[in-house]
Amino acid sequence: MIYLGADHNGFKTKEYLKKYFDNKNIDYIDLGNTKFQKTDDYPDFAKAVAKKVQKSKKATGILLCGSGQGMCIVANKFKNIRAILGWSSAAARRARHDDDANILCLPAWRLTNEKTLQVVRAWLATDFGNLTRYKRRIKKINP
């Protein structure tokens, strides 16, 4: 399952992603904001997504805000969450493969809709490399 969350800066991009997921029959749950609200706060959505992803090793999350940084900061406060800033397809693939990133944070101010889709597709299509050194490093994150 993919859990989605976005503040006002990422709202339009999240809605665009939902249409893409609907067209591709990709399962997701939108944890908000469900309507554009200029005064909303990104930590609320980052927390909601991180808590859901925490509950299942198979769950992933996608968070959107203006820079993507705020969402990453909040999500990474949760145990077993490895949130990354996906500014490019290569960065998203590498974080998924090497670090088993389970939340993708996207900078809505910097990415076009097409670039967002490229990053998301790359991240979703990449599996964890499962090498001993990768598992060892991940284990050191949450001792």
Catalytic positions: 65
Query: Strands of 60-65's sheet, edge to edge?
Result: 28-30, 2-6, 60-65, 103-107, 83-85
Which single residue is written with the structure tokens 């998924």? Answer: 96
- The three-state secondary structure class of 52 is helix
User: How far, in Å, CA of 70 to CA of 101, rounded?
Assistant: 17
Residues 6+ apart with CB under 8 A from 35: none
Q: Work out whether strand 83-85 and strand 2-6 pair parallel, antiparallel, or are unpaired.
A: unpaired
